[in-house]
A and B are shown apart, each in its own frame.
Chain A
Amino acid sequence: MTGLLNRTEAAPQHGDDPQSELEVAAVKSTWTREANALPPAGAEPRRSTATIRVVDVIRLIGSASAAIGLTSWLYFFALPLEGELGFTLISYGLFLLLFGTLTAFDENRPTVRDRLASVVMHSLAFLLLLALFSVVVYTVGRGLEPLGFLNFFTQDMSNAGPLDDLDRGGILHAVVGTLIMITIALILTIPLGILTAIFLTEYPSRFARFVRTIVEAMTALPSIVAGLFVYAIIVQFGLTRSGFAAACAITVMMLPIVVRSADVVLRLVPGNLKEAARALGASTWRTVWTVTMPTARSGLTTAVILGTARGIGETSPVLLTAGATTFFNFNPFSGPMTSLPLTTFTFVKSPELNFIARGFGTAAVLMVLVVVLFLIARAIGGRGPGQLSARQQRARTRASRDDDYRFRARDLGLTGSKQLALSSAPNSANRRARLWQRPAPSESRPEDAASPIAYEKD
């Protein structure tokens, strides 16, 4: 705005006599907005579009240092306080106070509120991430000690007594148990969960709404209640604890999560894809099988993996239904079976330091497993349904082009070797021929050169 004013002020008034051509040129450039014209002198200063204000950073650093200093004085000289956590809390409180006061020296009230709110939100987010970081680092750090022993991964605990060192005993039985349980749970959950999700999306009705409400309510089922339910069945029918029962309890925990995530993903499949399939004459199940599910494949995989990650980490259903063991048990239908979280739980309840160390090692293994699964799920399901990665896009383009050639060849009545030559070979052969300086197939076979199909030179 100021620049415009400058320009109009610099414009020559009527009747002014330009004294030289230079002045005319100068006047001209202030009239016209040429692409390369420089802004006239006295134009508005360039504004800073940075999101962080320097004056705020100065205030932050100042109040932080002052708060730490003041708290140190309070802690070591003035008051009988102790504890690191108290130090942190008091210094944070003083920091907020000082920052607010410092800002209030120069700014008005809404601005002070805004800066304080910004600082508070930043620190709350930082606190949560710090807590996560602390959990992960502490568990893995304390669990590194038993992980250094190879027997930790290759033996079970049947030969290790309570006083044995870390070079005896391992958690292989827990790993095997977890694998067996989660495999059975997945065999039960995947068909049932995806089928229910398909039912919810393909057949909306009052019953479907009821099912959806029940499923959403069940996502928050306490895990101990799921274990208790299977335990009640065991007790009712006189069965014994087994890995299969634990797998059933894990299924009850996993099903609502898988159904809800799969439902969300299936609903995101574009409606015009499904309608196009129906318009071409496909029945409902064929549409689902060939269009809906492949489109949502990455999202469905993500839903299953997220449910698996949750199911692997559950302790209480397994605690109630499978019991803890120290030996291998490969039969899920008879005998108790342990899993990774349950083994962790059993280990840390013991007063022996070695067992607690083993417990941390198991917890570290479990956490790494869950984090890896979660990151795989994120990597697979990063895109929405129907969106392809670059590699998938290239593969699709190639496949479409091959189909196009095939159809055109069929329409023209070309069959046999010519059709083979016209199918997936042409472009790659031409490309390879170009690379290795050999004549292209169309050049070695002149009858193909006469064909009306144009080979694309890419």
Chain B
Amino acid sequence: MALQSEVALSEGPTDYPRTLSTKVDRPDAAFRWVARSGGTIVVTVMTLVGLFLLIRGFEAIQAAGPNFITEQAWDPNSGNFGIAAVFMGTLFIALTAIFFALPLSFGTALYISEYAPQKIKPLLITTVDLMAAIPSIVYGLWGFFFLSPLVLPVSRWLTTYIGPWFPPFSVQGFDPDDPLATLTVFSASTFIAGIVVALMVAPITSSIMREVFQQAPLGEREGALALGATKWGMISSVVLPFGRGGIIGGTMLGLGRSLGETIAVFLIISPVFVIQPRILEKGANSISALIALRYNEASGFEISALMAAGLALFIVTLIVNFGASTIIARSRSGSESD
């Protein structure tokens, strides 16, 4: 009987789940508001970038219609303009840059993480990051004054011996049998611009790859070595599969950065407005170089056209970078990195 009453008492209304709430006092609420507004301002500024470009460029896009994507010439004042040539030029420069930057950064990252002596590792890491901090105009100067004369004979060799079988290496207006032919036809080409942009992009890509390689699990490394693998065998069976996401993501980040490179490209190339897949030949273009070239004498409508081109570049860069972040985040190494 006593038990029954005890049971009856314990079923009282005191056992319902409480709602938990945090009582935030005023300084904390104010700080929270301030912090949120900071984040909101940053997001607003960033979205405003895209929005303003869209608003100002819309006029030109409307005037050009779907020809905006297919037209090669750039003459907004006559209504005949499109980003086909400049966008493909940007793409060719970026692809050449990645072609050179990928092995360079991969080798450097692997060297620093696997082969470098422990004492000089911090020094090497600092040096490579320093390379990323050097302004792009310095690279442009170096590329134009130093690298360009060096690369001309290589371009000529490539055109003469590989050109006949590989069309992008062919050059119009160059006769290899002509002893008086000058090398100026090779001078302001996509190839040279691609090499310089590769040097600008390689440090960033290398940093990402190196961080990923250094996170490869020690147990698996030692397991491979204990089973009798050589060092390269260990690397190719443990480190590289682990770092696959970092390699791809880093390369895509480098691609995004090389799409937007302005000043170095501007100093090296001489602009043409046709799709020019012959990368050794003089004449290239990129959207950012176009904007830097034409903004000064631009009338209102031409500014709108330049904004539209800038918007196209911005969207493509965003897509590439989002893809890169996703790949890095979803990879095996990305779950542990920042």
Once the chains bind, are B153 and A83 in contact (CB under 8 Å)? Answer: yes
Pick from B48, B259, B292: contact of A316, CB below 8 A: B292
Whether B256 and A113, one on each chain, are in contact in the complex, defined by CB atoms closer than 8 angstroms, is no
Q: A229-B49, A264-B338 are in contact. Are A222 and B259 (CB under 8 A)?
A: yes
> A114-B233, A228-B307 given as contacts; is B135 within 8 A of A315 (CB)?
yes
Instruction: Find chain A residues with CB under 8 A from B303 CB.
Output: 231, 235
Smallest distance from the beta carbon of A268 to chain B beta carbons, Å?
9
B181 at the interface (CB under 8 A from A): no
CB nearest neighbor in B for A349: B267
**Contact pick for A220, options B31, B230, B257, CB 8 Å:** B257
Given A117-B232, A128-B202, A313-B137, A225 and B322 touching (CB < 8 A)? Answer: no
A337 interface residue (CB < 8 Å to B): no
CB distance from A15 to the nearest CB of B (A): 43
Given contacts A134-B142, A285-B31, A348-B267, contact A128 B206 (CB under 8 A): yes
> Which residues in B have their C-beta under 8 angstroms from that of A207?
36, 39
B101-123 vs A, Cβ < 8 Å mask (1 yes, 0 no):
00111111011101111000000
Q: Tell me, in angstroms, the Cα distance from A111 to B103 when the chains sit together.
A: 22
Q: How far is the CB of A251 from chain B (nearest CB, A)?
A: 8
Contact (Cβ within 8 A) B310 A341: no
**A345 touching B137 by the CB < 8 A rule?**
yes
Q: Return the CB mask of A295-338 against B: 1 if under 8 Å, else 0.
A: 00000000000100110111110011000000000000000000
A133-149 with Cβ < 8 A to chain B: 134-136, 138-139, 142
Which of B11-19, B68-76, B126-134 is the interface stretch? B126-134
Total chain B interface residues with beta-carbon distance under 8 A: 98
Q: Is A192 an interface residue (CB 8 A)?
A: yes
Q: Across the interface, which residues of B come within 8 angstroms of A203, CB to CB?
A: 32, 35-36
Q: Which residues of A contact B202 (CB under 8 A)?
A: 128
Question: What size tier do the contact residues of chain A reach?
Answer: 35 or more
Complex: A310 Cα to B27 Cα, angstroms:
36
A214 touches B52 (CB 8 A): no
Q: A213 to B292: give the CA distance in the assembly, Å.
A: 29
Q: Give the residues in chain A near B226, CB-CB below 8 Å.
A: none
Choose among A121, A132, A224 the residue that contacts B110 (Cβ–Cβ < 8 A).
A121
A12 to B257 alpha-carbon distance, docked (Å): 75
Q: Provide the bound-state CA to CA distance between A320 and B266, in Å.
A: 14
Asked if B141 lies at the interface with its beta carbon under 8 angstroms from chain A, I say yes
Digitize A166-194: 1 where CB-to-B-CB distance is under 8 Å, 0 elsewhere: 00000000000000000000000001110
Contact present for A225 and B233 (CB under 8 Å) = no
> Which residues from chain A contact B206 at a C-beta distance below 8 Å?
128
Residues of B near A223 (CB, < 8 A) are 260, 262
Q: Does residue A104 face the partner (Cβ distance < 8 Å to B)?
A: no
Q: Which residues of B contact A111 (CB under 8 A)?
A: 230
Interface string of B297-338 (1 = CB under 8 A from A): 000100100110010011001101110010000000000001
Chain A residues whose CB sits within 8 angstroms of the CB of B150 once the complex forms: 83-85
Closest chain B CB from A28 CB (angstroms): 37
Say if the beta carbon of B41 comes within 8 Å of chain A. Answer: yes
Contact B27–A215 (Cβ < 8 Å):
no
Chain B at the A interface: SS class: helix
Q: Is B263 an interface residue (CB 8 A)?
A: yes
A421 at the interface (CB under 8 A from B): no
Q: Is the CB of B288 within 8 A of A316?
A: yes
Chain B residue with the shortest CB-CB distance to A216: B325
Task: Tell me which of A51, A111, A128, A252 has the highest count of chain B C-beta atoms within 10 A of its own C-beta.
Answer: A128
B291 contacts A196, CB within 8 Å? no
Q: Taking A113-B230, A128-B202, A222-B259 as contacts, is the C-beta distance between A370 and B31 under 8 angstroms?
A: no
Q: Which residues on the A side are within 8 Å of B300 (C-beta)? A: 235
Please, which residues of chain A bring their CB within 8 A of the CB of B136? Answer: 313, 315
Determine the chain A residues whose CB is within 8 A of the CB of B39 once the complex forms. 195-196, 199-200, 207-208, 211
Interface residue stretch chosen among A37-45, A154-162, A360-368: A360-368
Structural contact, A222 and B262, CB atoms closer than 8 A: yes
Q: Does B139 contact A (CB under 8 A)?
A: yes
**Does A26 make an interface contact (CB < 8 A)?**
no
In the complex, A226 Cα to B267 Cα: how many Å? 20
Min CB gap A74→B, angstroms: 13
Asked if B162 is at the interface of the complex by the 8 Å CB criterion, the answer is no
Judged by a CB distance under 8 angstroms, whether A129 is at the interface is yes
Closest B residue by C-beta to A108 = B230
A228, B263: Cβ atoms closer than 8 Å: no
In whole Å, how far is A196's beta carbon from the nearest beta carbon of chain B? Answer: 5
Instruction: Kindly state whether residue B218 has any CB partner on chain A within 8 Å.
Output: no
Cβ-based interface call for A125 (8 A): yes
Are A283 and B230 in contact, CB atoms less than 8 angstroms apart?
no
CB distance from B180 to the nearest CB of A (A): 16
Which residues on the A side are within 8 Å of B244 (C-beta)?
A: none
Report whether B154 and A89 are in contact in the complex, using a CB–CB cutoff of 8 Å.
Answer: yes
Q: Is B28 an interface residue (CB 8 A)?
A: yes
- A-B complex: 8 closest residue pairs judged by Cβ atoms: A124-B107, A222-B260, A313-B135, A83-B153, A195-B38, A285-B31, A125-B111, A114-B230
Q: List 9 A-B contacts (CB under 8 A).
A: A124-B111, A125-B108, A132-B131, A218-B46, A255-B42, A315-B263, A345-B267, A367-B135, A370-B135
Where the two chains meet, the residues of B that have a C-beta atom closer than 8 Å to any C-beta of A are 25, 27-28, 30-32, 34-36, 38-39, 41-43, 45-49, 52-53, 55-56, 103-108, 110-112, 114-117, 124, 126-131, 133-139, 141-142, 144-146, 150-154, 157, 199, 202-203, 206, 229-233, 235, 253, 256-257, 259-263, 267, 288, 291-292, 295, 300, 303, 306-307, 310, 313-314, 317-318, 320-322, 325, 338
Contacts A51-B117, A131-B199 known; 18 new A-B pairs at CB < 8 A: A82-B153, A83-B153, A85-B154, A110-B229, A128-B131, A128-B199, A135-B134, A135-B199, A217-B321, A224-B292, A259-B42, A284-B31, A310-B133, A313-B134, A316-B288, A341-B135, A341-B137, A345-B267
